[in-house]
Amino acid sequence: MSHKIYTFDELRDLFIKYSEKKIITAQPSGLYEPVNYIMGLTGKKIRPVVCLMVANVFDENLDHALPLAYSIEMFHNFTLVHDDIMDNASVRRSKPTVHVKYGANSAILSGDLMMIKSYEHLINCCSDNDLKFTILQLFTDTAVKVCEGQQYDMEFETAENITLSDYMQMIELKTAVLLGGAFKSGAVIGNCSDKDADHFYDYGLNLGLAFQVQDDFLDIYGNPDVFGKKPGGDIIQKKKTFLYLKAMELTEDKEKLKMLYNSDNLPEQEKIDKVLSIYDHLNIRQATEAKMNELTAKAETHLNSILVPEENLAVIKQLQKSLLERIN
Amino acid sequence: MSHKIYTFDELRDLFIKYSEKKIITAQPSGLYEPVNYIMGLTGKKIRPVVCLMVANVFDENLDHALPLAYSIEMFHNFTLVHDDIMDNASVRRSKPTVHVKYGANSAILSGDLMMIKSYEHLINCCSDNDLKFTILQLFTDTAVKVCEGQQYDMEFETAENITLSDYMQMIELKTAVLLGGAFKSGAVIGNCSDKDADHFYDYGLNLGLAFQVQDDFLDIYGNPDVFGKKPGGDIIQKKKTFLYLKAMELTEDKEKLKMLYNSDNLPEQEKIDKVLSIYDHLNIRQATEAKMNELTAKAETHLNSILVPEENLAVIKQLQKSLLERIN
């Protein structure tokens, strides 16, 4: 190993220290306070750490990767602030959402500011304009897709006849592309080859998809002691999850499942049990596990194609394990 | 004259033709339709034409300036879409605002998309990354300031003790910097010297300030036949205009003017007449004209410092005249 490879926790600490120096003290405080508030909430910081982690595969010095990681985190938080208004969500990371704390107008405008600031951090990350333009293209393509994903997500709530492939496209756009982008941006700032940068992208994308499908899986089959909530919340909220859409694809009585899933007059536990019994009958658990395995295998094929010393990828493999091991 | 200099109308036509090719047909249509709607509304298109006009000072070929002009127009429209939500405005360019037509969530998300797309058009305007980087810095700085200006504008509605200098700062941030940025971006894409590019910026900035002060002036002293609305609308809406704040600065009985301006129980015309009588007593008309003249003179000093053949600036001088001649 030619240089130090940091662990996830070390990178997260580095990132948090860097973030603390980025608190905005400018005026008007009514614009900047909501930005400092959301950026200061404790979160997993997976996306910025991923960017640093990949940059670290190629270089011990992370001076150029840190502002880039910060840009990605700020973009992600901008989407959270605006999505929370659209979804009428009142809690984020156990705290009031920005629009609840500061009002919808502040949340719109401070979100806009964060979007612009995420570009500002990006264009100041280093002095190599050609390299920055590659990242700018990636960042902008990704941002467009994230908006498209949010639009599909909003439309899906009321839309009829959503298919499993619609769903996979939606989660790809809404969340997986940003993870792919975080991986690839770290590769680009690390001066990686185009081919390997694309492998990092596809690795992150498939990992993101697997993680999202797992999220749906855990809502039903997760260990409540580990997962921290009662199984079946998605069923009560009538969420069009991978499991429901897979069941709709497989069942011979689509009308029956649809009516049951959208019914409001059954006791909650009875509704959950009835849906679960259909899932069991259709082997939805196995089908979902198969999908997660397929996506994970696809991700790994990309990671294994990258031409760097294997030991430099060890922390990435460990991160993957920690992201995808919540099933057991 | 070494190359063709286009008129305002010719540039506007060029821009509109270019815009028609930029209509987005991508999916999801729920995201892109509001963008096409607002971008398709008839408007003066001053900012994009300004960008083209300055680029045309240096070059007949506007291939690189057109996407840049489009980026500026899209950014401007993004701010309109979000500001209209915040201001609860229902009409824009004689048509329903985006949030009225498509709902607030669509207006937020499609506005976000426009912000990102404005960066996309910018980073694809030409292949010179160093030059684009200069424009990106300018664009991003300007965008941050526009958000700050909108925040101040919202705060001013309820804030006490706003001064004239607060007001000048607010209109500079909210609107004048974008006009300055439009002028400067045209200069940068035209490969102008840094010094002259800054003169273009300061010219546009001061022109923008003069235009905003004129807007307040016309609400009271404009010819209703020309201006198209009854005088005194700002007084009825209790808007903290240049005129009101100048009067507050000059009057010896601030409480009296403040109470009158914020009163709701007088008949509209009586309230307007009473405020006007105070304005007359304090020579507010003359003070406002003096400010407009001062700003215009400052603008002209910058324009006259620019080292290009005078005839290349003729259309810009004509534009200035048409923007500032509504007073008479």
Closest approach of A119 to chain B, Cα-based (Å) = 7
Report how far residue B79's alpha carbon sits from residue B169's, in angstroms, rounded to the nearest whole number: 18
Distance of CA B289 to the CA centre of its chain: 20
Among A187, A179, A236, smallest CA distance to A212 is for A179
Residue among A31, A82, A144 minimizing CB distance to B108: A82
Residue B251 has phi, psi (to 5 degrees) of -70, 150
The tokens of B227 are what?
């201006």
Please judge whether B105 and A119 are an interchain contact, meaning their C-beta atoms are less than 8 angstroms apart. no
Among A184, A306, A327, A163, smallest CA distance to A247 is for A163
Please judge whether A30 and B155 are an interchain contact, meaning their C-beta atoms are less than 8 angstroms apart. yes
B304 touches chain A (CB under 8 A): no
Domain boundaries, chain A: 1-144, 193-328
Number of alpha carbons in the 13 Å side-chain half-sphere of residue A153: 19
Closest approach of B147 to chain A, Cα-based (Å) = 6
Please judge whether B137 and A154 are an interchain contact, meaning their C-beta atoms are less than 8 angstroms apart. no
For residue A150, the chain B residues in CB contact (below 8 A) are: 109
Distance of CA B286 to the CA centre of its chain: 24
What DSSP line would sit under B234-250, residue for residue?
Answer: HHHTT---HHHHHHHHH
Per-residue CA distances from A198 to A54, A201, B130 (Å): 12, 5, 25
Please judge whether A105 and B154 are an interchain contact, meaning their C-beta atoms are less than 8 angstroms apart. yes
Please judge whether A119 and B120 are an interchain contact, meaning their C-beta atoms are less than 8 angstroms apart. no
Length, in residues, of chain A: 328
Please identify among residues 148-207 of chain A the ones whose CB lies closer than 8 Å to any CB of chain B. 148, 150-152, 154-155
pLDDT in tens, B109-158: 999 999 999 999 999 999 999 999 999 999 999 999 999 999 999 999 99
Query: Tokens 């990006």 — which residue?
Result: A122
Q: Looking at residue B325, what is its pLDDT?
A: 77
Report how far residue A39's alpha carbon sits from residue A47's, in angstroms, rounded to the nearest whole number: 13
Q: What secondary structure letter does DSSP report for B160? A: S
Q: ∠B174-B175-B177 over CA atoms, to 5°? A: 95
Please judge whether A109 and B27 are an interchain contact, meaning their C-beta atoms are less than 8 angstroms apart. no
Q: For testing the chain A interface, which of B29, B75, B119, B127 should be mutated: the one with the most A CBs within 10 Å?
A: B119
Q: What secondary structure letter does DSSP report for B211? A: H
Q: Looking at residue B326, what is its pLDDT?
A: 62
H helices of chain B, where?
A: 8-20, 29-40, 46-58, 65-86, 98-102, 104-123, 129-158, 164-171, 177-189, 194-221, 224-227, 233-236, 242-250, 254-261, 268-281, 284-304, 314-324
- Single-letter amino acid code for the residue at B109: L
Residue among A116, A148, A155 minimizing CB distance to B147: A116
Q: Please list the residues that pair with A92 across neighbouring strands.
A: A95
Q: Is A236 exposed, middle or buried (0-12, 13-18, 19+ CB in 10 A)?
A: middle
Q: Looking at residue A227, what is its pLDDT?
A: 65
Q: Looking at residue B1, what is its pLDDT?
A: 52
Please judge whether A140 and B129 are an interchain contact, meaning their C-beta atoms are less than 8 angstroms apart. no
Report how far residue A246's alpha carbon sits from residue A162's, in angstroms, rounded to the nearest whole number: 11
Residue B252 has phi, psi (to 5 degrees) of -90, -15
- Single-letter amino acid code for the residue at B182: A
The tokens of A30 are what?
């009514």
Instruction: Count other Cβ atoms within 10 Å, centred on residue B201.
Output: 23
Tell me which chain B residue has its CA closest to the CA of residue A153. B28
For residue A82, the chain B residues in CB contact (below 8 A) are: 108-109, 112
* ipTM for the predicted complex: 0.96
For residue B34, the chain A residues in CB contact (below 8 A) are: none
**Equal fold, A1-144 vs A193-328:** yes
At B225, is the pLDDT very low, low, confident or very high (cuts 50, 70, 90)? confident
A80 touches chain B (CB under 8 A): no
Distance of CA A108 to the CA centre of its chain: 21
H helices of chain A, where?
A: 8-20, 29-40, 46-58, 65-86, 98-102, 104-123, 129-158, 164-171, 177-189, 194-221, 224-227, 233-236, 242-250, 254-261, 268-281, 284-304, 314-324
Left if phi > 0, otherwise alpha if psi is -120 to 50, otherwise beta: which for A61? beta
Please judge whether B116 and A144 are an interchain contact, meaning their C-beta atoms are less than 8 angstroms apart. yes
Q: What secondary structure letter does DSSP report for B311? A: G
State the virtual CA torsion across B170, B174, B175, B181 in degrees, nearest 10: 110
With a pLDDT cut of 90, the percent of chain B lying above it is 93
pLDDT in tens, B60-89: 999 999 999 999 999 999 999 999 999 999
The maximal CA–CA distance of chain A, rounded, in angstroms, is: 64
Residue among A82, A109, A130 minimizing CB distance to B147: A109
Residues of chain A with pLDDT under 70: 1, 227-228, 326-328
Please judge whether A152 and B28 are an interchain contact, meaning their C-beta atoms are less than 8 angstroms apart. yes
Query: Tokens 């596809």 — which residue?
Result: A202
What DSSP line would sit under A250-314, residue for residue?
Answer: H-S-HHHHHHHHT-SSS-HHHHHHHHHHHHHHTTHHHHHHHHHHHHHHHHHHHHHTS-S-GGGGH
Domain A193-328 class, CATH top level: mainly alpha
Tell me which chain A residue has its CA closest to the CA of residue B149. A28
Q: Looking at residue B13, what is its pLDDT?
A: 97
| Residue range A1-144, CATH number | 1.10.600.10
What is the pLDDT of chain B when averaged over all its residues? Answer: 95
Residue B265 has phi, psi (to 5 degrees) of -100, 5
Q: For testing the chain B interface, which of A144, A155, A167 should be mutated: the one with the most B CBs within 10 Å?
A: A144
Q: ∠B304-B308-B314 over CA atoms, to 5°? A: 65
Please judge whether B154 and A85 are an interchain contact, meaning their C-beta atoms are less than 8 angstroms apart. no
Buried b vs exposed e over B24-40: b needs ≥16 C-beta within 10 Å?
eeeebebbbbbbebbbe
Tell me which chain A residue has its CA closest to the CA of residue B138. A120
pLDDT in tens, B20-46: 999 999 999 999 999 999 999 988 999
Q: What secondary structure letter does DSSP report for B172? A: I
Tell me which chain B residue has its CA closest to the CA of residue A84. B105
Among B206, B186, B205, smallest CA distance to B197 is for B186
Whether B184 and B197 have beta carbons less than 8 Å apart is answered as yes
Q: Looking at residue A65, what is its pLDDT?
A: 98
Q: Looking at residue A206, what is its pLDDT?
A: 98
Whether A112 and B83 have beta carbons less than 8 Å apart is answered as no
Sign of CA dihedral A172, A177, A178, A180: positive
B302 touches chain A (CB under 8 A): no
Among A148, A69, A27, smallest CA distance to B28 is for A148
Among A222, A272, A220, smallest CA distance to A242 is for A220
- Single-letter amino acid code for the residue at A262: N
Instruction: Please name the residues in contact with A97: beta carbons below 8 A apart, sequence gap of 6 or more.
Output: A81, A84, A85, A89, A90, A91, A107
Whether A86 and A154 have beta carbons less than 8 Å apart is answered as yes
